[in-house]
Structure 1
Amino acid sequence: MADAKQFCADVLALDASIRFAGVADSMGMSVHYVYRKDLVPLLSQEETIKSMLQAVLRSGTRLTLESKLGECVYTLSLYKKVKRITIPLRPPTTNGQNAILMVSLDASVDHDAVIDGKIMPFLRQARLEF
């Protein structure tokens, strides 16, 4: 994988129901994202970055329970307008930090088919070096 922007574009290309794909480092400082072509985003650029930072913080809080529950594979938030998935990217990126992938889907889509059938297999094959 060449870089985070290309990684996001590759995730976006996995399924037509994917509205948004973004990555952020564990500090929320490095954020890259792409939207589906011709999509009118629900959030402004500032709100998108804020949302990703909040997801990074929530992801970090889950680490405290992983020794008992196992690693978090992904979390799903169902909103009336979209479904949002946050996936911790493992292993850590080359800078030694964990990162997250956030994906939003059309609300009506079968999220299991997209997550388990497309996104997770892609991540297993991807090199997470950006």
Structure 2
Amino acid sequence: MDYDQICKKVLDIDPKVRFAGICDETGETKYGGMRDGKPSLLSPQESQKSNLQALGRWGLRKTLTSKTGRGIYAMTEYEKLKRITIPLDDDDHLLVVTTEVDADHGNIISKTLKLVSQE
């Protein structure tokens, strides 16, 4: 899976996608980044902390996988952005996508899942 290409393609889905990045188990963003011209709302340390929290929530979801099936994505809407997370590679990496609040997240999620499944 070419993580850099995935991130670039996710940013191309919609101009309201602010960020597309892939983090590892430490929460560090290893691939992708912010859309040019869009300021990050979080410092690098805050982004890593946020990613670690998302990874922790995915870990909790996995405890119910035998009953609910594997998680496909999660989306949270905040006052200033929406964040979509998608586990990759048997959960070794997490794709994190943030959008403007008024973005069509359903369309972005659908197209992102299609991209990920094709890689």
TM-fit CA distance, 1:13: 2.4
Secondary structure, counterpart of 1:107 in structure 2: coil
Find 2:95's aligned residue among 101, 113, 123.
101
Which amino acid counterpart does residue 55 of structure 1 have in structure 2?
Answer: A
TM-fit CA distance, 1:76: 0.7
2:22–2:95 Cα contact (<8 Å) kept: yes
**TM-score of the aligned structures, taking structure 1 as reference length:** 0.81
Which amino acid counterpart does residue 52 of structure 1 have in structure 2?
Answer: N
Equivalent pairs counted in the alignment come to 118
Unaligned runs of 5+ in 1: none
Task: Work out whether 1:122 is the aligned partner of 2:99.
Answer: no
Secondary structure, counterpart of 1:13 in structure 2: helix
After the TM superposition, which segments of 4 or more aligned residues of structure 1 sit over 4 Å from their partners? none
Aligned to 1:7: 6
2:28–2:48 Cα contact (<8 Å) kept: no
1:12–1:34 Cα contact (<8 Å) kept: no
Secondary structure, counterpart of 2:64 in structure 1: helix
Task: Work out whether 1:112 is the aligned partner of 2:106.
Answer: yes
TM-fit CA distance, 1:98: 2.2
Report the Cα distance in structure 2 between the residues aligned to 1:120 and 1:7, rounded to whole angstroms.
10
Alpha-carbon displacement from aligned partner over 1:64-85 (angstroms, at most 9, x marks no partner): 0011001111111010110101
Secondary structure, counterpart of 1:28 in structure 2: coil
